[in-house]
Amino acid sequence: MMDNREPHDGRRPAPLVRPLAAALAGVLLAASPVAAQQVSSGHHHGTGDHAGRVVPGGAIQLSPHLRATPPRPATAADSARAKAITDSLWRVVQQYRDPRAAVRDGYTRLNPDRRQRVIHFNKRSNAAQNESGFDPGRPTSLLYNRAPGGKLVLAGAMYTAPTTASLEALDARVPLGIAQWHLHTNVCTPKRGENARWSETRDGTPVFGPQGGIATQAACDAVGGQFRETEFNWMVHVNFAPDGTVSWKH
């Protein structure tokens, strides 16, 4: 049995995406689930529904920190295209069930010193290429869950797209009838070199990050943070479950 507990290649992780409070269900089977695959179009972002204001470009501001693509009815063409994407993805990610294989192939673990329920391994070169194009076999991130005993188990992957991408450009990558892309907005982060401040809380709420209570430039300045109107890129998660189904849920 391989020990998959905390691989580290000695390099600082690429600053592509910070851990999100996402509950990813399921693990990857040893055998391909593609034959039994069913795509789930549920969109779960912790908001309860799709209420929110429409912003220029047509996206929905679900909360001060979260913007998402509006839901669309799924067509047969959407389902077929989504299945083709996940089939291609599955063929690639099988080789990364052991996270050490991901590290050898250029993925770096994000924030290895922080305890996380979902662990991101990011590949900088994939992120750069995904700024200008889409390849279903080229995810920006691999997503791992922590199993009992500390073993990291591959649970899915994440695609990214530029913050300037239109709804139609996002739909051209992964159909909006199947998946809901999301973008983190109005985020206050610690300044460079102050990573220890990520653990700061106020009244039980994180001070910094997408789950933090700060959503304005003035409030971020008051705590000595760095404010970003958008944090990283548009993102979408794809998750494989033990029964062979695929969900596009965050």
Give the pLDDT confidence of 98-129 residue by residue, as tens digits: 999 999 999 999 877 667 778 899 999 999 99
pTM above 0.95, yes or no: no
- Our measurement of the distance from residue 166's CA atom to the centroid of its chain's CA atoms, rounded to an integer in Å, reads 19
Residue 14, phi then psi, degrees to nearest 5: -65, 130
| CA atoms within 13 A of residue 230's CA, in its CB half-sphere | 15
Residue position matching structure tokens 């479950």: 241
Parallel, antiparallel, or unpaired for β 226-240 and 182-189?
A: antiparallel
Residues of the chain whose pLDDT is less than 50? 1-50
Q: Count CB-CB contacts under 10 A for residue 190.
A: 19
